Amino acid sequence: MAEIRKKGFKELSPIDVYMLLPKTNCKECGFDNCMAFAAKVVNREINIKDCPPLLTKQFKKQYQQLSEMLKPAVKEITIGTGEKAVKIGGKLVMYRHEFVYFNPTPIAIDVTDEMSEGEIVNRVKQTEEFSYVYIGQTLKLNMIAIRSTSNDPEKFKAAVKKVIENTSLPLILCSFDPNVIESGLMAAPKSRPLIYAATKENWREMAELALMYDCPLTVFAPNDLKLLRSLTKTLLEYGVKDLVLDPGTFPTEGLADTINNFTIIRRAACKHGDELFGFPIIGVPMTAWLDKSDSPAEVVMWKEAYLAGMLIVRYADLLIMHSLEGWVLLPNMILRQNIYTDPRKPVAVEPGLRTFGNPNENSPVMMTTNFALTYYTVASDIEASGVDSYLIVVDTEGIAVDSAVAGRKLTAEKVAEAIKESEIENKVKHRKIIIPGKAARLSGEIEQLSGWEVIVGPKDSSGIPAFLQQKWGK
Amino acid sequence: MANRPEKEIGIKLDPMLFELLAKFQEIELEDVEMDVGDLEIWLQPSATAISQITPKLITPKAKPTTIIEVEFTPPLEQYPGQIVEVKLGATKSEGGTRGRNIILGGEKSPAFCMFENPMPNPPVISLDVFDMRIPLAKAVKMHVAEVMEDPAAWAKLAVEKFGADMVTLHLISIDPLQKDTSPEEAVKTVEEVVQAVDVPLIIGGCGDPKKDLAVFEKVAETFSGERFLLSSITHDMDVEKAALTAKKHGHVVLSFTPMDMNLARELNRKLYEFIPKDHIVMDTTTAALGYGLEYAFTIMERARLAALMGDQELQHPMSSGTTNAWAAREAWMKMAPEWGPRELRGPIWETITALTLLFAGVDLFMMMHPAAVKTLKDVVNELLSGHSGRAERIAEWITVRT
């Protein structure tokens, strides 16, 4: 099987896609013509399956060619079934700015087959319930990794059973012993867990299991890219199509290898069209727990936390972690959300006037930026205050207050203009505007340009309720 | 361009094919099982016989029985551009009083592609010191409470206890909206810090372009030859005056722009008229994790790649005000118990903000919390150590008892 160098993502143009479409401009897809459809396809905004004629027998060949042409550099792999199934990989590009990263890195939390039933249930429950609301999105954990610390197939089976009784989250079954894995697979029929892992010793048995149970399979070749690539080749030849690559996560000594290996794999796939490395990469920050020795648990958790962060930035498509502490997981879940946002769209809300409650002509007027996070935080704090208010959202191109002031995206001119455009002058009798504490430096200029009196508000919007009660209530 | 793997395969195809064939043991044809004897008959080179067989049937799906070895060559790239090296701090023999100097930049590859090119100069950490008492997050304050009104003692603590490579002295009291202290008073504070520590220094202003320039002029002149990094020069400053001041007195400048590559290029271009390229460090703005970090990351990563691809106006070492991580309320606020103590949440916030930007290409980190500083230093040292990990050891993560 010769390895073909795929056309790089950047090189694909709408014309390439258009040439293979029916070119009838039938509009069945909802667009005016096939060229418009092609442009959307290249942008990954729609799927070629949205072109009904393309799905007919007549265009079978073109459909296949298009599928091949549009295939991501990193294969997309599904783990689990049903609503909570996760997709990993599916990356088109190496660098975020080249397009957008798809499939935010799922985080799996581990349990072991030697934990008590109570402990397993408790960890699974904590994993399921862990959530944080951030810019109107609920951030969640995604999977359970079951480790066989006992190496006993019966114990492993019991642990897997216990887990699936308590959750529908997708599973990763972890053991290097094929007998243990098989016993786990039998306990989780048709749930399509990820098998961890095939090695240079056990790959044949693991491949058989992956085929028999139709599961994706991890390939583990710590710090040996030639072996990793050879195993991938071998497993593909064997018929296992859905692979996940683990070049090893070295928590301390060897960290450089880990960063090098992750980078090499992703570069080979995205920039050099290497199909053998065109699979998702799994990172295991949990390896931090190997070094625990006499360290306090917090030190190990700390290491696990920053390892996870490094791997989210450096191309990990899936992570296995142990710590369930909020301070370990929260920064990483937010980092993942950040890195996986579409860089073409600023995380911003519409600028303009907002009202809270039923403000009247004496109600306070506040001002903030249109960075989504700033806006939602300020909005929830104003709501918490229970004071009927106006809020003018100034267009800072989606930048937060302090950065916007430093970067001249929030200026007195912009504020004065926003006041005018909001027509707030017809809505209130007073001429007092409360500005964020972090924009204090603009006070004088705003007063000059707008003619409004500036009241400097709190530096953090959590101070808004108290501020309104003290300064406005009177 | 470097060796592409498919070329390797092309060359090695024949021996590999041989190997492949030699290793096939089980052969399956669709669902029909047959022994090798049958197959031999099928594969007789008889044109008529073969033409009647569908192509599927003559391509047996076979399972390998041993590992098929394939070659692997790391995908190396060559870049036409290189980041300039900027020297901070001057020793006695160089006309200053610093114990050592620090060189930033010089990269020929994207950040930490160590398999391609070694990092010529390790990234550097500068700790923040303020010239007046300011509100600090509790987690930071607990470490510096004793020295908050003594910048010299604060600088000493940063270097001697927290391992700072450099110190950033933020002259915020000069702000007309704060104490509006005079350039002469600023010089006095700088003098105290210069006496207290011998690391290279960054002189930070208050953000008011006029006042900052006035103070920079006075400080640059008084400490002529020290090779301070003046932080920072902005578009709304008198760029000519600021750059000439730095050049005349042997200092270097931080070119600061608001998250926009074009503005960064533009300001650098302006600076080139007055100061050599290797006197400029650039900062395209750092936003906190959760508060726009992705913008900061992507602009830095893009700028660095563009520089390596030959964009002359972006070939500068990059600096990050990583302290901005503390603007995230998750870093400093008391939250429900499940989110852990802010004494841990805060510094991990700064750490992860720093590590994210480390991979975008930042060379100089201006930071705040000692734990974040230590972690970043440890990680950088480990990454540059050349130590390899023990493969057999990490396999044990599956069975480790936590």
Measure in Å the smallest separation between the Cα of A331 and chain B Cα atoms: 6
Query: Partners of A393 in the beta sheet?
Result: A352, A368
| Whole-number percent of chain B with pLDDT over 70 | 85
Say which of B177, B301, B375 has its CB closest to residue A306.
Answer: B375
Q: State which residue of chain A sits closest to B13, comparing Cα positions.
A: A2
Prediction pTM value: 0.85
pLDDT of residue B5: 38
Q: What share of chain A is helix, strand, coil (3-state, %, to 5)?
A: 45, 15, 35
Q: Which of B394, B396, B401 to mutate to test the interface with A (most CBs of A within 10 A)?
A: B394
**pLDDT band at residue B178 using 50, 70 and 90 as cut-offs:** confident
Is residue B54 over pLDDT 80? no
**Chain B residues closer than 8 Å to A203 by CB:** 67
B399–A403 C-beta distance less than 8 A? no
pLDDT digits (tens, 9 = 90+) for A227-244: 999 999 999 999 999 999
pLDDT of residue A7: 54
Neighbouring residues of A152: CB distance < 8 A, sequence distance ≥ 6: A113, A180
- Residue A369's nearest CA partner among A433, A294, A313, A435 is A435
Measure in Å the smallest separation between the Cα of A446 and chain B Cα atoms: 15
**pLDDT band at residue B292 using 50, 70 and 90 as cut-offs:** confident
pLDDT digits (tens, 9 = 90+) for A405-440: 888 889 999 999 999 999 999 999 999 999 999 999
pLDDT digits (tens, 9 = 90+) for A387-410: 999 999 999 988 888 888 888 889
The dihedrals phi and psi of A355, each to the nearest 5 degrees, come to: -120, 145
B356–A309 C-beta distance less than 8 A? yes
Say which of A2, A222, A239 has its CB closest to residue B63.
Answer: A239
User: A354 is written with which tokens?
Assistant: 């907002």
Task: Say how many Å lie between the first and final Cα of chain B, rounded.
Answer: 46
The residue to which tokens 């090499």 are assigned:
A264
pLDDT of residue A184: 98
pLDDT of residue A44: 85
User: B235 is written with which tokens?
Assistant: 């578009």
Task: Say how many Å lie between the first and final Cα of chain A, rounded.
Answer: 80
Cα angle, residue B82 at apex, residues B76 and B85 outer, rounded to 5°:
130
Delimit the domains of chain A by residue range. Answer: 9-70, 76-339, 352-472
B377: amino acid identity, one letter: K
A233–B68 C-beta distance less than 8 A? yes
Measure in Å the smallest separation between the Cα of B87 and chain A Cα atoms: 26
What integer is the mean pLDDT of B258-265? 89
Say which of A237, A341, A403 has its CB closest to residue B259.
Answer: A403
The span from the CA of A143 to the CA of A119, in Å, is: 17
Pick the CATH number of A352-472 from 3.40.50.720, 3.30.390.30, 3.20.20.10, 3.40.50.11600: 3.40.50.11600
B113–A326 C-beta distance less than 8 A? no
pLDDT of residue A349: 84
Hey, how many other C-beta atoms are within 10 angstroms of the C-beta on B90? 22
- Helix/strand/coil (H, E, C) string of B265-312? HHHHHHHHCCCCHHHEEEECCCCCCCCCHHHHHHHHHHHHHHHHCCCH
**Chain B residues closer than 8 Å to A306 by CB:** 348, 351-352, 355, 375, 379
pLDDT digits (tens, 9 = 90+) for A138-190: 999 999 999 999 999 999 999 999 999 999 999 999 999 999 999 999 999 99
Q: Report yes or no: A427 and A388 within 8 Å, Cβ to Cβ.
A: no
User: Mean pLDDT over all residues of chain A?
Assistant: 92
Q: Report yes or no: B290 and B332 within 8 Å, Cβ to Cβ.
A: no
Beta strands in A297-426 (DSSP E): 318-321, 352-356, 365-369, 389-394
- Residue B355's nearest CA partner among B335, B325, B331 is B325
pLDDT digits (tens, 9 = 90+) for B157-171: 999 999 999 999 999
What integer is the mean pLDDT of A4-11? 55
A230–B67 C-beta distance less than 8 A? yes
pLDDT of residue A2: 37
What are chain B's domains? Answer: 5-64 (no CATH), 85-385 (3.20.20.20)
pLDDT digits (tens, 9 = 90+) for A343-354: 877 678 889 999
pLDDT digits (tens, 9 = 90+) for A57-89: 999 999 999 998 899 999 999 999 999 899 999
**Chain B residues closer than 8 Å to A231 by CB:** 67
The two beta strands, A352-356 and A389-394, are antiparallel
pLDDT of residue B148: 96
pLDDT of residue A270: 95
**Chain B residues closer than 8 Å to A210 by CB:** none
| Whole-number percent of chain B with pLDDT over 90 | 78
Q: Report yes or no: B9 and B70 within 8 Å, Cβ to Cβ.
A: yes
The residue to which tokens 């608001």 are assigned:
B258
Q: Report yes or no: A253 and A298 within 8 Å, Cβ to Cβ.
A: no
Weakest-pLDDT range from A430-439, B1-10, B94-103: B1-10
| Residue of B2 and A245 predicted with greater confidence | A245
pLDDT of residue B48: 36
CATH class of A9-70: mainly alpha
Is residue B53 over pLDDT 50? no
**Chain A residues closer than 8 Å to B70 by CB:** 226, 229-230, 233, 276
pLDDT of residue B12: 32
Q: Report yes or no: A395 and A351 within 8 Å, Cβ to Cβ.
A: yes
The span from the CA of A389 to the CA of A289, in Å, is: 51
Q: Report yes or no: B105 and B316 within 8 Å, Cβ to Cβ.
A: yes
Say which of B177, B394, B401 has its CB closest to residue A441.
Answer: B177
Is residue B22 over pLDDT 70? no
Q: Which of A229, A259, A282, A315 to mutate to test the interface with B (most CBs of B within 10 A)?
A: A259
Q: Report yes or no: A27 and A51 within 8 Å, Cβ to Cβ.
A: no
Calculate the CA dihedral of residues A164, A167, A173, A175 and round it to 10 degrees: -80
Q: Is the dihedral of CA B9, B13, B19, B21 positive or negative?
A: positive
B352–A305 C-beta distance less than 8 A? yes
- Residue A179's nearest CA partner among A159, A208, A200 is A208
What integer is the mean pLDDT of A14-31? 91
The span from the CA of B261 to the CA of B263, in Å, is: 5
**Chain B residues closer than 8 Å to A273 by CB:** 4, 6
Q: Report yes or no: B260 and B282 within 8 Å, Cβ to Cβ.
A: no
Say which of A306, A339, A406 has its CB closest to residue B348.
Answer: A306
**pLDDT band at residue B34 using 50, 70 and 90 as cut-offs:** very low
Measure in Å the smallest separation between the Cα of A230 and chain B Cα atoms: 5
Q: Report yes or no: B317 and B253 within 8 Å, Cβ to Cβ.
A: no
Tell the burial category of A437 from Cβ atoms under 10 Å away from its Cβ (0-12, 13-18, 19+).
middle
- Residue A422's nearest CA partner among A358, A346, A355 is A355
pLDDT of residue A384: 80
Q: Which of A327, A373, A459 to mutate to test the interface with B (most CBs of B within 10 A)?
A: A327
pLDDT digits (tens, 9 = 90+) for B391-401: 989 999 999 98
A389-398, B137-146, B240-249: range with highest mean pLDDT: B240-249
Phi-psi label, residue B156: left if phi above 0, alpha if psi -120 to 50, beta otherwise: alpha
The SS3 of residue A108 is strand
A441–B70 C-beta distance less than 8 A? no
Q: State which residue of chain A sits closest to B358, comparing Cα positions.
A: A310
pLDDT digits (tens, 9 = 90+) for A297-340: 999 999 999 999 999 999 999 999 999 999 999 999 999 999 99
The SS3 of residue A474 is coil
The residue to which tokens 């399979």 are assigned:
A217
The span from the CA of B319 to the CA of B102, in Å, is: 14
Q: What's the complex ipTM?
A: 0.85
The span from the CA of A430 to the CA of A449, in Å, is: 17
Q: Which of B134, B400, B401 to mutate to test the interface with A (most CBs of A within 10 A)?
A: B400
A34-43, A235-244, B385-394: range with highest mean pLDDT: A235-244
Measure in Å the smallest separation between the Cα of A8 and chain B Cα atoms: 14
Cis peptide before B232 (omega within 30 of 0): yes
The two beta strands, B24-28 and B124-130, are unpaired
Measure in Å the smallest separation between the Cα of A202 and chain B Cα atoms: 11
pLDDT of residue B56: 46
The residue to which tokens 């909802």 are assigned:
A30
Q: State which residue of chain A sits closest to B332, comparing Cα positions.
A: A460
Task: Give the single-character DSSP code of B254.
Answer: E
B330–A339 C-beta distance less than 8 A? no
User: A159 is written with which tokens?
Assistant: 């642990």
The span from the CA of A79 to the CA of A222, in Å, is: 23
**Chain B residues closer than 8 Å to A268 by CB:** 5, 74-75
- Residue A313's nearest CA partner among B74, B35, B356, B100 is B356
Q: State which residue of chain A sits closest to B401, comparing Cα positions.
A: A149
**pLDDT band at residue A470 using 50, 70 and 90 as cut-offs:** confident
- Residue B196's nearest CA partner among B281, B279, B127 is B127
Q: State which residue of chain A sits closest to B73, comparing Cα positions.
A: A226
B4–A5 C-beta distance less than 8 A? yes
Q: Which of A155, A246, A337, A403 to mutate to test the interface with B (most CBs of B within 10 A)?
A: A403
Kindly state the greatest CA–CA separation across chain A.
Answer: 80
Hey, how many other C-beta atoms are within 10 angstroms of the C-beta on A74? 27
**Chain B residues closer than 8 Å to A284 by CB:** 394, 397
What integer is the mean pLDDT of B130-141? 94
Length of chain B: 402
B393–A259 C-beta distance less than 8 A? no
**Chain B residues closer than 8 Å to A134 by CB:** 290
The span from the CA of B24 to the CA of B10, in Å, is: 21
What H or E segment, with its residue span, contains residue B352?
A: helix B342-358
pLDDT of residue B3: 39
pLDDT of residue A473: 62
- Helix/strand/coil (H, E, C) string of A239-304? CCCCEEEECCCCCCCCHHHHHHHHHHHHHHHHHCCCHHHCCCEEECHHHHHHHCCCCCHHHHHHHH
Weakest-pLDDT range from A146-160, A326-340, B211-225, B323-337: B323-337
What integer is the mean pLDDT of B59-70? 85
pLDDT of residue B60: 56
The SS3 of residue B98 is strand
Measure in Å the smallest separation between the Cα of B58 and chain A Cα atoms: 15
Q: What Rg do the C-alpha atoms of chain A give, in angstroms? A: 27
B345–A233 C-beta distance less than 8 A? no
**pLDDT band at residue B32 using 50, 70 and 90 as cut-offs:** very low
The SS3 of residue A76 is strand
| Span A76-339 CATH architecture | Alpha-Beta Barrel (3.20)
User: Mean pLDDT over all residues of chain B?
Assistant: 87
B401–A149 C-beta distance less than 8 A? yes
User: B174 is written with which tokens?
Assistant: 């000069």
**Chain B residues closer than 8 Å to A298 by CB:** 344
Cα–Cα distance list, A41 to A75, A106, B209, B322, B326 (Å) = 18, 26, 48, 39, 41
Q: State which residue of chain B sits closest to A227, comparing Cα positions.
A: B69
| Whole-number percent of chain A with pLDDT over 70 | 97
| Residue of B99 and B49 predicted with greater confidence | B99
**Chain A residues closer than 8 Å to B306 by CB:** none
HSE-up (13 A, CA, CB side) for residue A274? 32
Q: Report yes or no: A176 and B395 within 8 Å, Cβ to Cβ.
A: yes
The span from the CA of B324 to the CA of B284, in Å, is: 13
**Chain A residues closer than 8 Å to B19 by CB:** none
| Residue of A323 and B34 predicted with greater confidence | A323
pLDDT of residue B400: 95
pLDDT digits (tens, 9 = 90+) for A262-271: 999 999 999 9
Q: State which residue of chain A sits closest to B177, comparing Cα positions.
A: A441
Weakest-pLDDT range from A30-34, A55-59, A369-373, B315-319: A369-373
